[in-house]
Structures are given as structure tokens and as C-alpha cells.
Structure 1
Amino acid sequence: MGKHRKPFGQSWRRGPGSAVRVRPLPVRGALRLRRPSDIWYKAALGALVAMAVPDLTLFALGRLDLVLYTSAGALCALYGHGLPYAARARTLPWVVLGMVASLGVALTAASLTTSTALLVVFAALIAAIHKTVCEATRVGPPGNIILTFVTASAFFVPQRLGQVPSHLALTLGTGILAWLVCMAPALLRPQGPERIVVARALEAAAGLLRTERGADGARPAGAPDAWHATAAAVNAAWHTLYEVPTRTPAKAAARAGLERLLVEAESVLGRAGREVAGEAERAAGWAAGRHDGHQYRHSFDDGFDRAFGQSLDQGFGQDLRRFEAERLGGWARALRGGGPLPEVAQVSSSWQVGEKGEAGGERSGVRRPAPGHPRGVRPVLARLGPGSPLLPIGARVTAGCVLAGWTSMALGVGHPYWAVVTAASIYQANTTLTWQRALQRTLGNLSGLLLYTALLPLIHLGHLAMLGLALACQVGAEAWISRNYWLGSTCVTPLALLLSGFGSQLPARALIADRWIDTVVGAAVGLTCCVVVTNRRAADRIEAALERVAAAENAASRLLAARSAPGAGDMEGADGARETGWARDRLTGCLVELREAVEVASGEWWQRALPEERIDHAQQQGHRTLARLVRRLRAPVAAA
């Protein structure tokens, strides 16, 4: 790979002696709109149904004062939409139980004390726990913010101890409903999540093919990012497919077909220079439509032969890449459309049946994750152990939320938990991202308050109109938040005010004023604490990632050397190919982790200088070796 690109195109200012660097906080790009998430409507519809059923029931019973507790369980329907249904069925109960436990703590504390200052401390501690646990479990969007929003609000709801069990029962019941709603699509498209993640990998590979070389054979500026994006998408797709059970021949065949498509996307990463004549002959066969089952492979490797690159870019080369990019894109569209798998993904009947493998009855026609890869609770505890880079983030959340809540109290605001939620919501992986999220949150809340003001005539029509507006805001938030956080906050703010309106009689003007003051206080105090509480462990994470990349690359190189040695024919069978597949998984995961660690550390405003040369060298060596590994994996069965 090329030199690591500094984020946001900013130069770094080094401190005295170049031991640390001080980096300015950027503004450009914070408000730029992105493409919407490809599955936003799944979370939106799930939350809509899960909220509408209990809320309309409460309306019919005249008990809309209980809407906070039913909404707590219903909002769990926002989680898990990127997971296969088997993994989703296991994950969502933990989300629901986490919501119930957090709400139980909040309601119990509210019933036992009326000290606002103490309740702010409790809410801040719970917010820090939510942040660190969600980051450690990598539960995915919407992360900790939904749990914190509901729990922080509950700390300040008047409560009697005897009411807590019944209120928690409402949350648990609607949480079960949310689980059913999220699992219901499995009846219509049981392969939907895994098809989408493979489609993303195919689209990323097609985008990589479209990053054309210049006339001199040089790589374009965006090639390293495209390479990393494709590697990350392919790696995520493999880990998703590993979560798909293959207990029956039909399920094994369905997963094996998706793996074949994923190997096609992965093959783009494994391209390397070959003889010009051999590639020209194969390209001519492609142009004539006589594809023999072998894939034209390519790599953005520093060892790529320049003359070969020039010959490809002159004449048939660019057309060939465009043709193959369209081919991968067509497969991605077929996967998203829900139709049958493309012909290349079809497997023979003998391969569909397969034999029982070594791991719990899994079929041998599909890949399995590398042995020794920790799963379940152990990796979560490891990410939270001493020295974890998540601990400074938890400290930031605790300090920022406590000070934001207390500042709100000192200003006489009636809803200090809004300041707590604002402070908790802006904390991201580093200072730069936190700064941008604070800008987005402030702008989004301001525009949301303007929207709420415009909706006041409809709100005054009654509770049924309020319910309808709340549901519409929930859908709007999911539709827009993936484009930019500030745009989603435009809907989240009136949603929060509407939910608060069911249990309070405060005039709209007071609600709007409190929300605006708490937003400014929470963002300002939270950002200040983020700057003061520096995350010096971010650079330590890079050192650990470099060590893992080096170990994985060395192991993969030894494996490739052993397979290439004379008399290594016995290693070319299923066992040798399985080892190669596992080496690919380990190395790809380590490279993705290194990239993430560098991006996190690069966004810290006060950090010791990064080992850029070591990072570049590790990436280059890792990508070279990864390309060789990928070229060894010519079919999914090779890694079985």
C-alpha cells in the first residue's frame, strides 16, 4: 500500500521534542451528507411496529403515562438488523435484558432518592457503562445512545418502589414483541442479512476495480482507501457467514453459494502481475464471452509490474475492469433483489450434501472460522480488561455527563437528564470525531426544535395526533441519521419532546427552552471533558496491532513457503487449503484492526507521534502476503 493518508488532509503539529503531536479540530466535512444506509428501512419499520402496537393499546386504555416503559422495550427493535437471523435471535435478548436491567436501576434509584445531584451521578455512571459495554460487544448501531436516552430519562420520573416491577414487566413484554418483530422477516427472506453483506462486498470489489490507473501505471490517490474498504467489507462478510448455521444440506448449500460469490469479490484483492501475454490471452477470452471459470485477478500491490499495468490501461485493460466491475455489481443487485443466486454461485448436488466436518456437525462444503478465535463473553471481557483503550472513553463519559448534569442544575433547567444524554451521545472513538458529533448534535437539536415548534398546531389536536407524530419522527430519524447525525437529530429531538409530553404538563415554550439550554451545556461540557481527559492508550493500541499483524504475516509467509516447497503436494489438499483460509482470516482481521487503531489515534488532538514508517511497512507486507493467500483460495471448498 501507499503512504498512510492523514485524516481530513490536515497536517500534524508536533509538540516540543516531537514526542507528541497537537492536531487542530476540523470543521469541514462534519455536516456533509452521505449515502443513506442500505437497510435503514428495516430498523425503521421494526421500531414502527414495535412502538405502534403497545402505544395504541395504551391510548385505548387511557394510560399514555406509561409510554416511557413500553417505548423502552420497543426501541430494542432498532438493534441487530445487520446480523443473520440465528445470531440476531441470540443477540436481541441480551439487548432487551440490558434495557430492563438499566431501567430497573434507574427506577429504583428514582424511588429511593429525590436528590437531583445524586441522580445525575447515577445516570452518568450508567451512561459510561452503556458506552464501554456496547463498544466492547460491538453490538452495532444504534449503540449506547438508545439505552442511555431511556435510562437517563427514567432516573427523573417520579416513582414508587412498588411500581417498579409492573413497569419493568411492561418493558420486558414490549422487548419480547420487539424480538418477534425483528425475527419476523426470516419467514419471508431467511437469507436476507447474509445476502446483503455479501452484496456489499461485491459492490466494494467493483468500486476497487473502477479505481483506474493513470497512463503511467501509477495508482490513483483513492486506491489505498478502496483497497481497505474492500478488505474490510470482505472480512465483515466472512464473519457474518460464519454466524450462519449449516445443520442441513439445504442450509449448507445456500451458504456455500454465497461463499462462492464472496470468493469472487475476494479474488479482486488477490490480483498480482503475471505475464502480459498470458493476461492478454485470458482477456481476449473474456471479451469473446468464453470464460473458463478462472478469475482475472488484480492487486494494488507495490510489487505490481509497472509495464503490465501500462499495458492493461492501454486498450483492453480499462474495458476489462469495467466489464468485471459491472459483473460483480450485477451479482450484488441480484442478491439484494431476493431472486435466485447467480449461476456462478450454484453448487453441485454432491457438494451440497457434503460430509459432517470437525466442528459440531457443520458441513464440509463451507468455510469455518480459524480455531482458537475467542467467541462469546471472553473477547468482551478481554476488551474491558486493564489497559483497555475503552477505559479512557468510559472516564470521559462519566466526567462529561456528571459535569453537564450539574451545570444544567446550576442554571435552573428542569430536565438535567437531557444534558446528560447530550454529553453521552457526542463521545466517539477520538477527539476529532467527538468534536464533529458535538457540532452535529447542536445543529440537529436546533433544527429539531424548529420542527417541533412548527408541529405545535398538530400536537395540540390531542394524544392520538402526538402518537402519530412520534411514530413519524421515529421513521424519519432512521431514514436520515445514516446520511448525517445532525439530520437524524432533527427528528430525534421532537420525538424526545413528544414522549416527554405524555408524562408532563409543562408548556411547550418551557420544554423548548430547556432542551436548547441542555443541548448547548451538554455539548460544551462534554467536549471540554473529552479534550481534558486524553486517551494516551490509543497509540498503545497501534503497537499491539502492529505486533499482531507481524505475527499473522510471518505465520502466513511460513505457510506459503511450506506449500511451495518441493514435495509439498500432500499439503495442497483440503487440509492445506483450510490452513490457508484460516491464515487469510487472521491476517485480514489484523490488518483491519491496524487500520482502525491508526484512525482512532490519528483523531486524538494530543498524542505521541505515530510510527508511520512501521505502519506503512506492516501494511505493505501484510497486503502482499494477503494477496498471495487469496490467490491460493480458488474456491470456497478450498477453505473448508
Structure 2
Amino acid sequence: MRKHAKPSGKSASDAPAGTVRVRALPVRSAVRLRRPVDIWHKPALSAVVALAIPDLTLWALGRLDLILYTSAGAMCALYAHGLPYAARARTLPWVVLGMVASLGVALTAASLVTSTALLVVCASLVAAAHKVACEATRIGPPGNIILTFVASTAFFVPQRLGQVPLHLALALGTGVLAWLVCMAPALIRPQGPERTVVARALEAAAGLLRTEAGAGGGEPAGVAHARHATASAVNAAWHTLFLVPVPTPARAAARAGLERLLVRAESALGSAGDAVGTAAGSGGREAHLADADADIEARTPIETRAAAETRATAGTVTEARPQPRTAAEACTGTGATTEADCLTGWARELRSGRPVPEAGLSAARAEELAGAAAEAPGPRRPAPGQPYGVRAVLARMAPGSPLLPIGARVVAGCVLAGWVSMAVGVGHPYWAVVTAASIYQANTTLSWQRALQRVLGNLLGLLLYTALLPLVHMGPLAMIGLALACQLGTEAGITRNYWLGSVCVTPMALLLTQFGSQVPATTLIADRWIDTVVGAAVGLVCCVLVTNRRAADRIEVALGRVAAAETIAARLLAAGPATDVDDPREIRRARDRLAGCLIELREAADVAAGEWWQPVLPEERIAHAEQRGHRALAGLVRRLSAPTLAA
């Protein structure tokens, strides 16, 4: 997929009317391994603990036939690990309720409906609801696949209506357990999630500075990609910090420290305007930061002054400060290291769990974070006028939403995959439904990659399950241990590539099937393989036939929003430095609006570029809009960083 379009010298308007382009579907990039996500172990360990407790309890009671229902609630422990604990405490109950509701629909249908074909339709509709809801709420990994896997399986489990309340109670009880497990780390590192997301922003900003320094001039694709990655990481970090409550002065001071670091990371975008036309000068950046640090003393935030007074009382602050020993200290001390090294050092400090390092800021930014303006005291808040919560979710699902074609693809693909599986005589048609539901991504190219990854991973997973059969035959306790090990392996591998995680998902799914009923291993392996191929093939056919023409329309909307945000930014920049106390707040809102619009434009362009059959995209307009937008964004960031603003 083309990541960043550049002017080609040929406008899209020069293309013949009705021209479409057919993209080649990649193979090598689909199987390439990436670096693992930094927090993969957190959902992995949470899920293992949440699954192990009920599994071992059921084993002790001799009721392993109930393991599907306890697993439904326990697997909710995989969600919301990127959220601060206060937001996680509010989000996980909704995940659990969604899981229990889906399970209730599936079990009720299984007890009342006798037609397998009709059950396939019901499972497909629920799978589409999961996909649209997870995309609209932006719940994050693992997305809809866990909900769909559990619900689709439950549609085909023999059930009596009188058993449904007990089974739902088991799922709800283990869901409460999953909530407790996911919230337990707050007792040890209450700031863990927000420190991690700020560290990511710092690392992205450091990568941008190094890329600019290596580019030497102009705007190569690497600089554009690094700038977008930095803007996205900073934007995500701000949204995460917005979710952090500040009920006490201590919590406010802790959050303010993270905000200061994030502002310093955001200042890397201030060189974007220079990178568009000329090389970014690292020496000029160091001089600017040194001048900004010199202006801090008289306008230091309250939290920083209190910390300094405490250190002075303890005898740790002297007139002659010792030579810095870490990159973080060097940033606020002698300036012996580069800005990129400073940001990387700060990120390392945040991940290590040490106290939040101090970041030198200009007077204007320090006053902003400390709430110096009497009209808006306290930590930074989102810009007003933006929908959030339930309103934002409903807006993303409104008529005309690009999510609706994806939902239509899921329904069509899952129904046809399940029916084809029934036609070839497979005894587990829900596997074909789950496979079809799992491959649908934002566009055709990503869906093709996911289908390829799913087929490859399941094939290797079946080979792994065959090798593990001697251990499976050792008894239920060994099966529980293998299932937990596969769960851990899934989370360890899936962030590197989906196919690698699928290698462990496949034997785990087969083990869960074996707990409820004894089916010959050869039958299970054959059914799984046939359903995988059928689900992937039929799903891809439906993906191509059910086109997403709204992807190109989304680009036009995003271009309009970027133009409007860039106009507002240009007006503020043209006005020059102002002394009005509301000016920094207005510039901050314009910066937030423009950054969000630029991210939305890039995402819309990437989605549309990955559609297999799509009109020619306005690449030149997109490139010009991004260049102008990032130049204006850089100006806003520099304006907020300028010491003259607080003079």
C-alpha cells in the first residue's frame, strides 16, 4: 500500500473519465515479521490468569464441558490494555456485557432453531455487528475476532433453553474476574499505561528528528512517513492523557510531568515546516531549546517549583549541579546530547518505572500546562465542539459511514462461507464463519493479506496440533496446560504477524472443542483445514464483489476538513504574536484540530489506496494538502514553543 503520496506531475483530473486502477496483491509483505508490540505481555498474562482460575476450578469439579462459557468471560481480559486504569475500569464492563449479550443471543438461538443454515445466517449477522461496533468504538486489539469466535461457536453447541441462564452467569462471573485481573496492575504501577503511550510518542519524535537529519534536505518519503507517525503517536498520547483523572494535587502533578514530556515530543513537529522545503537544522533546534530553557526559571509550573524546593531542602540541589549521568538529565542540563537522544532517554526512563524526568519548556508552554490562565485552570482538555463518547460512536455508524460496506462484506462473506462449508459436509461450519469474519479489514489489500496469513497460520497450527497429540492424550490437566501455553504464544506472536499468532490459535481452538465433546483428531484437523480454505476463499470473493466506493468519498471529505483547519491555522499565524491570554488556548485548539484532520486524511488515503478496484485517487491534491497542513502545524507548534509568547 502506498503510504505517502507525492506530487507526480500528473493531476488525477488528467485521467480519463471512469478510469479505475487494479492493484497487485502483495505476498512478501504479508508474511514479513515485525517488531513485537511493547506491551504484548500484559494482555497475554492477564488472559492466562483469567483463564487458568476457572479452568482449574472446572477440572477440580469435573465439569470441563462448561469451559466454553467460562472462557467467554475470561477472554475479555485481552481488551483495553492501552487505556489508563480509570478508563479501563469503565470500558471493560461494556466489553463483558457485549460478550454476555452475544453469548445469550447465540445460546438462545441454538436452543430454539434447528436449521443449521439459519444458524449460519444468525451467526453472520452477529459477526457483522461485532465488526462494526468494534471499529466504531475503536476498542483496539483484539477487536471483533474474540467476540465472534465465542458467539459463532455457541450458535452450534447443543443447548436447552433452561440451561442458558446458568451458562450466561458463568460468563458474567468470569468477566468480573477478568476485570479484576486487568485492574490489578494499578496497585503496582498506577501510571503504567499513560507512561507507555508518552514513551511511544517520544520515540516517534526521536525517529522523526533522526530521519530529518539524515535526509539533508527536501522531503523524501521517509520524512513524510516519520512525520505522520509522530503526529499519530502524539495525538494518541494526548487522547490517552485526556482520560487520566486528576482528583488530587499529587495526581495533577504526575499528569503534568507527562504532559511536559509530551509537549517536548510534539515540538519535533515544529521542524516539519522546515523539512517540507529545506533541511531541518539540528543545531538551530538545540539553540532554540537552550533559549527556551533559560526562560523557565521565572515561570516554572507550580508542581516543578514544589519539587525543586523539596530537593533543595534535602540538600540535593546545589549551585554547581553535578555532571548529568543520563540522557534525560543531559536534556535539561548541559545540552551535551542531541534532542533525539534526549527524547529516547526520556522514553527509556518512563518505561523503566523511574520517576518522571523533568523536561525544559518555554515559558508559554509551562504556563499552559500549569493552568496559569485563570479562565481555564488545571490540566489540558480536549478542544470543545468535538463529539465524544456515545455520540462519537453513533456518528461513525451513521448512514454514509465507510463502516457500513465492511459490515455488508462480513454478512455476505460469512453466510456464503458457512453454507459452502455445509455443502461440502464439514461438521463445524462456524469455523468457516469465523475465518471469513476474521479476514475483513479496512480495504481489499489488507483483507487479502489477512486471508493469506490466516491460511498459512492455520496450516502450521494444524501441524503443531498433530505434534502435540501425544500430550493431549495425557488427560484434561495436560490439555488445560497446553491451552494456556497456546494463549500465551498467541499474544507473543500475533503482534509480530497475524500468521505467527494463528499458529497457536489453531491448536487452542481445537483443544476447546475437545473439552466439550470427543471428536477424532483426524476429523477435527480435516474440518479445520477445509473450513479455513473455504472461509478465506469465499470471504475474498465477497470482498472483491462488495466494493467500498465510499473509500474515495472519504478522501474528499478529509481534504475539505484539512483545508478548513489549515485556513484557521493560517489566520492565527498571520496575526502574529499576541498578548491576549486566550491566544495560546486558541492556537492549541487549532493545532489539535489540524493534527487530527491530517491524520484522518492520511488514513483515508491509505484505505482507499488499498482497494483493489477503485477510481484513480487525487494523489497530487492529497500530497499538497499534507504539505501545506504540516507546514501550518509546524508553525502552530513553534508559536506555542516561542518564549516571546509569554513576554
Over 3 Å counting, the alpha-carbon distance change for 1:395 and 1:250 in structure 2 is same
Aligned: 1:122 with 2:122: yes
- CA offset digits 1:475-524 (Å, max 9, x no partner): 00000000000000000000000011000111111100000000000000
Distance 1:354 1:627, change over 3 A: closer
Mapping 1:576-591, distance limit 5 Å: 576-591=583-598
Partner of 1:341: 356
- In 1, the alpha carbon distance for the partners of 2:489 and 2:145 equals 17
Larger CA deviation: 376-385 vs 445-454: 376-385
Structure 2 distance, partners of 1:635, 1:519, is 58
Distance 1:57 1:477, change over 3 A: same
Residue number in structure 1 paired with 2:314 = none
Q: 1:63 to 1:620 in 2, by over 3 A?
A: same
Q: Secondary structure at the match of 2:258?
A: helix
Contact 1:260 1:635 in 2 (8 A): no
Task: Summarize the Cα distance change of 1:263–1:115 in structure 2 as closer, same or farther, 3 Å threshold.
Answer: same
Displacement after TM superposition at 1:250 (Å): 0.9
* TM-score between both structures, scaled by the size of structure 2: 0.87
Q: Count residues with an aligned counterpart.
A: 594
Once residues 355 and 211 of structure 1 are traced to their aligned partners in structure 2, the CA distance between those partners, rounded to angstroms, is: 36
**1:140-151 maps to which residues of 2 (within 5 A)?**
140-151=140-151
Q: Secondary structure at the match of 2:614?
A: strand
CA displacement, residues 3-41 of structure 1 (integer Å, 9 cap, x when unaligned): 9348xxxxx9x9974532222212121000000010000
Spell out, residue by residue over 1:399-435, the C-alpha distance to the aligned partner (whole angstroms, 9 max, x if none): 0000000000000000000000000000000000000
Q: Does 1:59 align with 2:59?
A: yes
1:253 and 1:353 in contact (8 A); partners too: no
Does residue 510 in structure 1 map to residue 517 in structure 2?
no
Q: Name the amino acid aligned to 1:630.
A: V
**Normalised by the size of structure 1, how large is the TM-score?**
0.88
> Matched residues in 2 for 1:99 and 1:279: separation?
51
* Cα separation, 1, equivalents of 2:362 and 2:623: 40
What is aligned with 2:483?
470
Is 1:542 aligned to residue 555 of structure 2? yes
1:461 to 2:474 alignment = yes
Q: CA shift at 1:185, angstroms?
A: 0.7
Matched, 1:434 2:447: yes
The alpha-carbon distance between structure 1 residues 353 and 524, as it changes in their structure 2 partners (threshold 3 A), is closer
Unaligned runs of 5+ in 2: 7-11, 297-334
**Per-residue displacement from partner, 1:211-234 (whole Å, max 9, x unpaired)?**
145686344441110111011000
* Cα 1:617–1:441 shift into 2, 3 Å: same
Rounded to whole Å, the distance in 2 between the matches of 1:346 and 1:206 is 17
Distance in 2 (alpha carbons) for counterparts of 1:617 and 1:321: 37
Separation in 2, partners of 1:253, 1:346: 16
Q: How far did 1:385 drift? A: 0.9
1:490 matches 2:497: no
Deviation at residue 118 of structure 1 after TM alignment: 0.5
In structure 2, C-alpha distance between the alignment counterparts of 1:634 and 1:539, rounded to whole Å: 37
Which one is further off, 540-549 or 191-200? 540-549
Give the drift of 1:554. Answer: 1.2
Residues 506 and 525 (structure 1), Cα distance of their counterparts in 2 relative to 1, 3 Å cut: same
Cα distance in 2, alignment partners of residues 273 and 450 from structure 1: 54
Contact 1:204-1:233 within 8 A present in 2 as well: yes
Deviation at 1:561, TM superposition (A): 2.6
Tell me whether 1:596 sits opposite 2:603 in the alignment: yes
Question: CA separation in 2, counterparts of 1:108 and 1:476?
Answer: 33
Paired residues of 1:209 and 1:321 also in contact (CA < 8 A): no
Q: Which residue of 600, 615, 618 corresponds with 1:611?
A: 618
How far does the alpha carbon of each residue in 1:242-296 deviate from its partner, in whole angstroms, 9 at most, with x for none? 11111211111111100100011100101255999x9868757999x996468xx
CA distance in 2, matches of 1:368, 1:134: 25
- How far apart are the structure 2 equivalents of 1:423 and 1:285? 54
How far the C-alpha of 1:326 sits from its partner, in A, is 1.2
Match of 1:252 in 2: 252
2:192 maps to a residue whose letter is G
SS at match of 1:388: coil
Local SS of the residue matching 1:21: strand
The residue correspondences of 1:371-386 to structure 2 (distance < 5 A) are: 371-386=384-399
CA contact (8 A) 2:486 2:505 kept: yes
- 1:128-139, aligned counterparts within 5 Å? 128-139=128-139
Q: Which amino acid aligns with 2:70?
A: T
Q: Which amino acid aligns with 1:402?
A: V
The residue number in structure 1 matching 2:331 is none
Query: Which residue number corresponds to residue 217 of structure 1?
Result: 217
Aligned pair partner of 1:367 in 368, 371, 380 = 380
Distance 1:216 1:589, change over 3 A: closer
Structure 1 position 42 matched with structure 2 position 35 = no
- Unmatched tracts of structure 1, length 5 or more: 7-11, 295-319
- In the other structure, the counterpart of 2:342 is 327
Calculate the aligned-residue CA RMSD, in Å: 3.0
* 8 Å Cα contact 1:15-1:22 kept in structure 2: no
Secondary structure at the aligned position of 2:143 is classed as coil
C-alpha distance in structure 1 between counterparts of 2:441 and 2:367, whole Å: 49
Provide the secondary structure at the position in 2 that maps to 1:251: helix
Contact residue 350 and residue 356 of structure 2 kept, 8 A? yes
